[in-house]
Structure formats: C-alpha cells, structure tokens
Structure 1
Amino acid sequence: MKNIIKASLALITLISLGGCEKFLEEDLKTELAPSNTYTSTYGFEVGSAGLYALTRSEYNTYGEGGAFIHNGAAPYEALQAATDIADVINSDASLMAFANLTLRPTERFVGTYWNWAYSVISSANLMLVYSEQNTNWDSPTDKVRFQAEARFFRAYAYRTLVYLYGDVPYVETILYNFQLNFTRTPKAEVIAHMVDDLKFAVEHLPENPDQVKDGKLTKWAASHLLSEIYLLQGDYPAAEKAALAVINSKYYNLMKTRFGVNKDKPGDVFSDMFLENNQNRLTSGNRESIWVLQFQFNVVGGGTNSDDWTRRAWIPNYSSINGFVLADTLGGRGIAQLVPMKWWVGTARTNADGNVLGIFDAGDIRNSNYNIKRDWYYNNSGDASLFGKRAPITEQTWFTTKTLFPAITKFFYGRVENLSLTGSYKDRMKFRLAETYLLLAEAYLGQNDPQKAADAVNEVRDRAGATLVSAAEMDMDYLLDERIRELVGEESRRFTLVRTKKYVDRVKLHNPAIADKVKEEYALWPIPQGIRDANRDAPFPQNPGYD
C-alpha cells in the first residue's frame, strides 16, 4: 500500500505540474507516464490514490510533501472570511482582501482554487480516458469503479468552481493541444454535468462502507454530495431523495453514546468525534462519518506539516501570553487567523452574569466546555504567580491581540513531541450524517414544508440535547444558525451562504465590518487575471464588480 501511495504522489505531481493541457503535449518518457501507468488495475490504484491526495491538498499550504502548492495562509480560510461566522483581524496578508471585500483578480488564492480544481479535473479526465483504453483488469467491475471515483472527483472540483466563479469552462476529456480560446460554460450546464457524474458514482461506487479502506469513497458519499448539488440546482425533491438514500441506507447513524479513544474520560459524544483517531469507521466505530480525508500523523500518504492548518486558523495565540506555554491539551500552536464572532459563539455558557449567550441552548452539548473552550487557566508551572489561575478573556485578547477567546475544540491538535507543528495531523470528516440531515431540511424548506424540515433538524438537535425546534420557528435563517452550531469550520461557509442565496443578508446582519460594503456581486470571486490574459483567442468576460 505504501508503494502505491508513493507512486501515486509522483504521478499526480507530474500531471499537476502541467495544468490542464500543455503538459499533455510532451513526449513522456518517465516511468510514471500515464501511458505506461494506466495499463492494469494496479496502475489505476496508483492514479486513484493520487486523486485522493490531490483532493486533500485543498487544505494544503506550502506544499511540503503534498501534491499541490498554495503558499501564504491556508486557502480554506478564505472561504470562511467575509461571511457571518468569523472575523479576520490582523491576519495573514493573503486573507485580508477576502475579509475586507477588496478582492482583485490578481489575488493569490483566487488563482489557487481555480488551478487546484482544474488540476483535479485534468487528473480525473486522464483516468477516464485511459480507463476506456485499458483491457487489463483484475475484476470485471474495476473499470466502472475507477470511472466512478474519477467522476466523483470531477464533480467535486466543479462544485468549488461554480460556487466561487459561476460560469466556468467545462472540460471532460484530455486536451491534447494547447488552447487559448476557452469560453465560460453557463453554470446551469456545468451543474447538470455534475449531477450526471454523481449519479454514475452512486451507481458504481462500493455500497458497504465496512468493506472499503479508510478514506475511500462509497456510493453514500456520492449521494450526500448529490443532495447538495441538487440543492444548488434548485431540484428540491431530488435533493430530498438523495439525502434520504443515505439516511435510510442503514449503514450510518448519528453517534449518541460515547465512543473511541477517550470514551471513559470526561467529555461528550460530540467532542468524541473530533479526537484524534476517532474519525474512521472501522478503527473507532464512528458510524456518522461518510467520507474522511486521511491526514494521519507519521504515515506514508498521511498528513504533512503543511496540510490542514485548520488548527492554526481557529485556535487563539495563547502561548504568547505570559503564564502560558504550548500544550496539546490546549490545542497546540494556534495563530487565530479566524476569530469566532460573538453574536453566535457567545461569551459564556449561561447568561446569568449578563454575558452574551450566543445561539446555543444552555443544555446543548455543542456549547459545552468540551466543545467550546471558554475557561482558560495559566499552565506555565515555571510562573508560580499565575500557574493554575484563570486567564481572563477580554475585548483586547479576543479582537486585538487574538491571544484568548472562546475556542472551537474540534480543531484542537497537539503532539507532545512537537508542539510547534503547524499541520493538523488528524483525519478530517468531510461528509458526516449530521450534515445529511441538514441538507434534507434544506430540501424540505425548498418545498415549503417547514414541519418536515424541523423534523430533520431535530434529529441533530436531539443528539445535542438541545430544545427541539417547531415548524413555526423553522426557516432558512434558523437552519443556517443550526449549521453553525453543528458544522462551524467543517463546512465552507461561503458555499453554504451562496447556495442558500443568503450571502448578502447574513453578512449585513452579522458582519458589521463589511455590512455597508457587501453587494450581491461579491457572492462570486473574480476570474483569475492570469487565466483571462492567457485566453487570447476568445473573449473571457470578468465577473461583475471586478473589471
């Protein structure tokens, strides 16, 4: 397996370096050229593992050992900025234009996501083309299985493109000639292709998640994503059907009892899901996970120090305060690129002292100190005057120095052998059943059925010990709040707000720093300037507001 992963990383890097088309003009002589790799089931295993690696590199930063290079902060953080959940204050310069709505077509991450997505698409198309040529399969079902994986990843990449840029060129094969005349395919047409790809994936990916390796796709991961894409398309009955297929499959359930590595230690079932080694179904018993990205520490093909900087993004820079030292129990090293907004996270678990309660019920376990750390105690035993005393959270520590604030513990990660690690070497649940229920609720709201929407949301709220919502209370704003309570930092918040057509409303309501600047046209990013400059032989219009 390690040899497959090493070979796949080499192959996918080779493919990615050339982009979507120019690379394919070269007369490849390397041992890992597609023409002599995609000649057997083993070769397609190599290519498949490379596609998984390239997909994981969405969360990559500097490219250390990874298949894709971004540089700057983690691009993922730009998808949380300028929304309704996080302030981006005194953060990495590569994030500030996103946060301040001063975005230009030349901004680094504008190009990063475009290039990453088309690298995934190029690699998926390569596998699809060679799968039609290969006749050397170990099993009669191998061909459609690899095609299903490739088509899932192609749809997944186009998902990012249409959310961020709207109309984008649709490419479904290898481009053998260098092309300077791309045109923008209408978004609706691209989404229709995504639906076709995901329906094929649902039909041909493995059914039983207990019979696939950790991190590998099943038909249920495809059905979960298909539900979301149907919502984006506005086909709410189809979205309902796809979500219910996952829920009714009998393979998954919401975790409601303690499990995993710390099940006999203080905590709760929600916090259990985010402890290291508790994400994968086969090893931890987590039956809520539908698709898990593999970032495991010190494993070939796992994470690197440049992968998944979510911890750095969301955890305060507490170690710069006198009286604190880095600790794995405090999440390791954080630099607070993203600071949770007070309107939703609150300042206390109860409002008895007059503080802001946020959007949680008092009994909601997602608001427990195991999941949102509000009580910080100085931990430097060398400082006797402070050790063990409670450290105050103030407006200055929260919004100026970013050294202490209520922290989301789902992103805590630290290893005593190297507490300065930047990467979060923890497998990441990309899709889990709680979100499937919330997608189902969104489908019911789209069909004007608030009672069924409330029933779906209440499956999630019941697990959390929260007060059940009534049909009279159930609307899109309530659902968006529930997605924060359940999925903050896991979902790409910008995507959710764009899909639900609530981007401007929510930013105006909850993000005062840009409330007077946000406009509907900012729901999309600009087309990267380098793409438009290179496309010399055909018009390639810019998105409104960025000319």
Structure 2
Amino acid sequence: MKESKIIYTVVLFVSILLGGCVNDLDVSPIDPDVNTPNNVFDSEEAYKEALAKLYASYALSGQLGNGGGDPDISGIDEGFGNYIRQYWSLQQLSTDEAIMAWDDATIKNFHWQTWAPNDTFIAAMYSRIFYTVTISNEFIRNVDAAIGDASGTFKTDLEAYKEEARFIRAFSYWHAIDMFGNVPFVTEEDLPGAFFPERILRADLFDYIETELLDIESKITAVGNNEYARADQGAVWMLLAKLYLNAEVYTGTERNSDALTYVEKIIGGGYSLEPVYENLFRADNNLSNEIIFPIAFDGQNTQQYGGMTFLLHASVGGDMPLNGIDGGWGGIRAIQDMVEKFGVSESDFSTADPEFTAITDKRGMFYYDPASWEWDITNVGTFTQGIGVTKFKNISSDGGEAPNAHPTFVSTDLPVFRLGDAYLMYAEIVVRGGGGDMGTAVGYVNELRTRAGVGSITAADMDLDFLLDERSRELYWEGHRRTDLIRFGEFTDGTEHWEWKGNVQSGVATDAYRDLFPIPSNDLNANPNLEQNDGYPQ
C-alpha cells in the first residue's frame, strides 16, 4: 500500500461471529462493548473508515498492527491466522508449486494432502472467511439504516460503499464455495444474536454469489474510477468470470460461455500487460495497469506477520538474496515438478550463478546453489532441499528502496486478479468449447510468452495439458494453483503425482474427496444445521 492507496484505518464495529466457529481454537468475538454501531458510525467519515476495515480484514488480523496485541478473533495468533497467509498456504502448499519446511502444527499435511477436520490451519481459514462475511453484513446493515436520511455527496458515497461491501462479501463467499462447499450462510437480513446459521448447498451459494455480482455490476464504480485497491467494475467482472469458469466444479453444470462474456469485458476494459513481468511482484506494483484487484500492503501502515510479509520472509533462507527484507525464515520453496515446467534442470544452476540469470523464460525466478542445496527432497523439513523462489521482492522496479520502506514489513501488494490471467482464461474457454476464437486465444498466450522471452505457440500446441502448465508458469505462487488443478481434474486422483504428494516422495494419487477441505470439527459439533463434507469423519 502506497500513499495513493486506501488507508487501512483500524476500526472494529460490533460483529457477532457465526455460532460455534472454530471452538477448538477458543475463538470468540471481540468484546462488543469496545466498539458498537453507536460509537463507530458517529460521523460521515466513519463509514469510509469502516469500509477500510473490510478491505483490511484480508491484510490485517487485528486492531494494532505491529505483529499483534488486539486480534479480530481471540484464540488465533494474528500472524498465523492472517487471511491472506492462510489462503495462500491452503491454495499453494497443497499443490505442485510449494512445500513447507516448518514443523508448525500440521502445516506439512497440506503438501502431503493428509489433513483432517480438526486441522488448526483449516479452522483459521474458515474463521477468517466468516469474520469478513460477518463484518460486511454489519456494515451493510448500518449503511442501509443511514442511507434514507442521507443526501448529496454523503448519500452517493454510502451507495458506493455498500456495493463494495457486497463485493467483499461475495469475494469471501467465493473462497467458501471453492474451499468448503456447503457452508453456513448469513446475510445482512440475519440480525446478530444467538442462532444456528442455516447450511447452504454449494449450488445454491453459487446462485447467490452470481445474483449478487450481477446486481453489483451496474452499481459499483466504473473501471479506473475508484481509489487504488478498492473494488470496481473490473473486479466484479473478474470474480464473475472465475465463478463461471469453475461452475462445473461448484454445481455440476459448465458455464464457459458466460465466463467468456466477462473475460471479454475485462480484456476490453482498458487494462494492459505490464511490459516487464517481474515488476508485477515488486514493491511499487501499484503502478501497473495490469492489476485488476490487489490486496494492498505497506511497510509502515500494514504491519503484521501475515500476508506478503509472511510470503517474502518465509520464502527466503540459506544464502538467498534478501530483496528488501531484513532476514529470511526458511520455510517455503518450490519443488522440481514446478521448476522443470520452465525447461530447466539442476545442471543449469551453479554456485557462481545460483539464480540462473540466463534462463530463457524470465517468469522463472529461482535460486539453487548446488554447493549447499539439494534438488531432490528427501527430508521435507530441510529448507535447502528443493528450489528457492525469488518472484516477490520488497524493492521497487528501479531496484531502489520500497515505498514506505520497513526492514521487516513489506510494501509489495498481492495481485489477486490481473489481465495476464484473463488472457489464459480466454484461451482455456476456447479449448473447452465455450466460444471465442482460437486465433485470438493463441495471440493472447503469445503476448504473455513474448513478454517472458520464450517462443510462440500455434493452435496445434493449444490443449488443456499445455494450458495447465502455462498457468503455472505465468501465475505460480499467486494463489490460483489448487483451484486450477481441481478444475483440470489433477488435484487429487488425476495423473499429476508431484514430489511428496500423498506423503510419498515420488508422489501418489490421493482421495478425490480432498478436492474440498473439511468443515472444522468444532463448528460442525456446535451447529446442528451443518454436515461434514463427504469422505471426512462425521
């Protein structure tokens, strides 16, 4: 987050979390006497500050920053329980793109795909999703109560804020439908209090998210007319495209032609590819016209040991370059299955050039010193077994210091949605028979490959196997891989058996029911309306 970004004012208004959420972590709501609607929404400015809290729920996990002290949800360490930290971990560590060396609780189970319903990390992700949903509901209720008496600019602002809050709620409900399937469901119509939230089926939640987004589309701020890091029409289009592209997974019915409609809106929406790929992942990436919707971070104003601070520090260890941070935590790295998709092998790296600067595909930003690292992972807990990733950096595109630089906390934003992904989505829709033009699809893919410095493809090369690999080359470590592998039928029982999948070094298939995470045990026990996902112990 730079000066142009929305300021993350830490305001907490009353938010009664879903009954029984994640009791194994002793999760409970923050004391509602600290802040209530009466003293939070006490001025016109307070509504924007409260809206900022909704956005901040992805980047921060508490009220004070600086690593903790006043958490949103008691019982979860603020850094550990950070929304983006958990989302990234569940989306990436469970795939062929990343593996964790740490022994924190059950963290290794994600790459092994051996998690259980009482998993602490799954419970943390689940609770963050529904915390964001709940404070969004509360915000919408308060805006609805105020808007009738508002006039002029204030009324216009409230109307805009409400649509952004609805988008944020839909965005988190998308995470719920993608990760957990059939979940508790509440809206602003369900007043806070002691009740058991009803369970909504995955297909019905799909319909709700779709209906919400279609209504928001014409009401939210137009593309390019909102402050940086706030949702606009482009973010709505991209979320609709994502929803439709994965519709067969979520509902059993493909909606690729609908996905095409919104991908084409994005491509025609005024965005442009960032000329230099690596600048998308540096500390001044807010300057890029490719990014459609980011989660913003700032070294001075979003200080917490989650989010991008976690991602940059945890991916650095050994003799890797620090790239603007004050030290590495030696946790996450890539496995050979991903790196070899870039056409490189162990012999390409040397002690003199451990970053293999001559790599053809400039999207591949890796570190491997054969004098001190091992290509094969025989011990998952040894960070220097595997290949380091240097994709994200806390330095500016000119090599200088990050904006609002801090030695620990980073200023690099997470590009949640960007145009390069839309190009690949267009190509996938064409290959899946959802419409579009093959020549156009080939052109989009080749624009990405030209930027990367690799050769062009032809229509004969364009099939689903190629696209799944190309999505990894273009989007690795950006939080898409688990969803992609499931859509392509390769997450669990497909033919992709990467290193240590199934807790076997050579990799094995796992049970298909793991395409969904389990409903956390204690929420299941606390709410009689819920049912466990198939395959997991009831």
Class of the TM-score when normalised by the shorter of the 2 chains: 0.7 to 0.9
The amino acid that maps onto 1:459 is E
Deviations 1:60-118 (A, max 9, x none): 99646764574348423232123122233454333123233332211112211111111
2:457 is the counterpart of 1:469: yes
Judge conservation of contact 1:163–1:498 (CA < 8 Å) in 2. no
Residue 310 of structure 1 corresponds to 311
Judged with a 3 Å threshold, the aligned counterparts in structure 2 of structure 1 residues 297 and 219 are, in CA distance, closer, same or farther, namely same
CA offset digits 1:20-64 (Å, max 9, x no partner): 46999999665x422454465423202110101112248999646
Q: CA deviation at 1:222?
A: 1.5
Mean alpha-carbon deviation: is it higher for 489-498 or for 137-146?
Answer: 137-146
Tell me the residue number matched to 1:98: 110
For 1:412, the equivalent position in structure 2 comes to: 393
Q: Aligned match of 1:273 in 276, 280, 289?
A: 280
Matched with 1:44 is 47
TM-score normalised by L of structure 2: 0.79
Q: Which of 360, 365, 369 is the matching residue for 1:363?
A: 360
Q: Is 1:427 equivalent to 2:425 in the alignment?
A: no
The structure where helix makes up a greater share of residues is: 1
Task: Give the conservation status (yes or no) of the 8 Å contact 2:341–2:473.
Answer: no
- Deviation, structure 1 residue 154: 0.8
Are the structure 2 counterparts of residues 347 and 504 from structure 1 closer, same or farther at C-alpha, using a change threshold of 3 Å? closer
RMSD (CA atoms):
3.8
Distance 1:509-1:307 versus aligned 2 partners, 3 A rule: closer
Whole-Å separation in 2 of the counterparts to 1:347 and 1:355: 15
In structure 2, give the amino acid aligned to 1:469.
I
CA drift of 1:244 comes to: 1.3
Matching of residue 240 in structure 1 with residue 243 in structure 2: no
CA contact (8 A) 1:221 1:290 kept: yes
The residue that corresponds to 2:17 in the other structure is: 19
Q: Which residue of 2 aligns with 1:334?
A: 328
Name which of 287, 290, 297 aligns with 1:288.
290
Q: Match for 1:402: what amino acid?
A: F
Partner Cα separation in structure 2 for residue 138 and residue 96 of structure 1: 54
Contact 1:454 1:469 in 2 (8 A): yes
Q: 1:455 to 1:398 in 2, by over 3 A?
A: farther
* 2:523 equivalent in structure 1: 531
Note if 1:484 corresponds to 2:472: yes
Partner residue of 1:385?
none
Q: Quick check: 2:238–2:417 contact (8 Å CA) kept in 1?
A: yes
For residue 106 of structure 2, give the secondary structure of its aligned residue in structure 1.
helix
Q: How does 1:32-431 map to 2 (within 5 A)?
A: 32-38=35-41, 41-57=44-60, 63=68, 67=72, 70-71=76-77, 72=80, 74-75=85-86, 76-134=88-146, 135-139=149-153, 140-176=155-191, 178-209=193-224, 211-233=225-247, 234-250=254-270, 252-256=271-275, 269-277=276-284, 279-281=285-287, 286-299=288-301, 302-308=302-308, 309-315=310-316, 317-318=317-318, 324=319, 328-329=322-323, 332-346=326-340, 363-367=360-364, 371-374=365-368, 391-395=371-375, 401-403=382-384, 406-413=387-394, 423-431=409-417
2:336–2:386 contact (8 Å) kept in structure 1: no
Deviation at 1:534, TM superposition (A): 1.0
- Hey, what's the Cα distance between the residues in 2 that align with 1:344 and 1:397? 13
Flag the 1:519–1:489 CA change in 2: closer, same or farther, 3 A: same
Secondary structure (helix, strand or coil) at the match of 1:19 reads: coil
Report deviation, 1:396. 7.2
Whole-Å separation in 2 of the counterparts to 1:516 and 1:21: 38
- Amino acid in the other structure paired with 1:280: N
**How many aligned positions are there?**
490
**1:454-487: CA deviation from partner (whole Å, max 9, x where unpaired):** 3332232222122222222222222221121111
Percent of aligned pairs with the same amino acid: 23
Q: Residues 97 and 344 from structure 1, CA distance in 2 versus in 1: closer, same or farther, beyond 3 angstroms?
A: closer
Check the 8 A contact 2:11/2:40 in 1, yes or no: no
- Quick check: 1:202–1:219 contact (8 Å CA) kept in 2? yes
For the 8 Å contact 2:260–2:434, the answer to whether it is kept is no
Residue 536 (structure 2) aligns with: 546
Provide TM-score, normalisation by structure 1: 0.78
For residues 349-399 of structure 1, what are the alpha-carbon distances to aligned partners after superposition, in whole Å with 9 as ceiling and x for unaligned?
76695889xxx99632213xxx3234x5xxxxxxxxxxxxx9553347996
Deviations 1:204-261 (A, max 9, x none): 222242x4323122211121111101112231111111111111122x10022xxxxx
The 2-side partners of 1:146 and 1:439 are apart by 29
RCO higher in 1 or 2 (8 Å CA, sep ≥ 6)?
A: 2
Cα pair distance change 1:507/1:340, threshold 3 Å:
farther
Q: Partner amino acid for 1:240?
A: L
Give 1:413 deviation, angstroms: 3.6
1:129·1:173 contact (CA, 8 Å) conserved in 2? yes
CA contact (8 A) 2:335 2:386 kept: no
Pairwise CA distance, 1:489: 0.8
Quick check: 1:165–1:524 contact (8 Å CA) kept in 2? yes
